[in-house]
Structure 1
Amino acid sequence: MIPLFRKLHHVCVVVADLDKAVAYYESVGIGPWFDYPKGGAYVEYDVPNAQASAAMRYKCADLDNFQLQLCQPPELDSPQRRFLDESGEGVYHLGFESDDLGTAEEQAGALGLDVIARGRRADGSGFCYFDTRAGAGVTLEVRKTQH
Structure 2
Amino acid sequence: MFSTLHHVCVVVADIDRAVRFYESVGIGPWHDYPPLTQYVDLHVPDRDAFLDLTYKYADLANAQFQLVAPGRGESPQRTFLETHGEGVFHVGFSVPDVTAAEKSSALPVLMRGRRTDGSGFTYFDTSEHAGVTLEIRQNRGSE
TM over 0.5: yes
Q: Which amino acid aligns with 1:25?
A: Y
CA contact (8 A) 1:39 1:146 kept: no
- Give the deviation of 1:39 after TM superposition: 6.9
CA contact (8 A) 2:126 2:133 kept: yes
- What is the alpha-carbon distance in structure 2 between the residues aligned to residue 138 and residue 38 of structure 1? 24
Pairing partner for 2:43 from 41, 46, 54: 46
Aligned: 1:23 with 2:17: no
Give the aligned partner of residue 75 of structure 2: 78
Q: Which moved more, 1:18-27 or 1:41-50?
A: 41-50
Give the aligned partner of residue 116 of structure 1: 110
Give the aligned partner of residue 92 of structure 2: 95
- What is the alpha-carbon distance in structure 2 between the residues aligned to residue 76 and residue 6 of structure 1? 33
- What is the alpha-carbon distance in structure 2 between the residues aligned to residue 124 and residue 144 of structure 1? 8
Aligned: 1:134 with 2:128: yes
TM-score normalised over the length of structure 2: 0.93
Identity %: 56
SS of 1:135's partner is helix
- What is the alpha-carbon distance in structure 2 between the residues aligned to residue 63 and residue 37 of structure 1? 18
Q: Which runs of 4+ in 1 moved over 4 A?
A: none
Aligned: 1:58 with 2:52: no
RMSD (Å), alpha carbons: 1.3
SS of 1:19's partner is helix
- What is the alpha-carbon distance in structure 2 between the residues aligned to residue 15 and residue 119 of structure 1? 22
CA contact (8 A) 2:36 2:51 kept: no
- What is the alpha-carbon distance in structure 2 between the residues aligned to residue 39 and residue 74 of structure 1? 13
- What is the alpha-carbon distance in structure 2 between the residues aligned to residue 18 and residue 44 of structure 1? 27
TM-score normalised over the length of structure 1: 0.91
The C-alpha deviation readout for 1:22-50, integer Å capped at 9, x for no partner, is 00000001000010123773342111111
Pairing partner for 1:69 from 59, 66, 70: 66
SS of 2:35's partner is coil
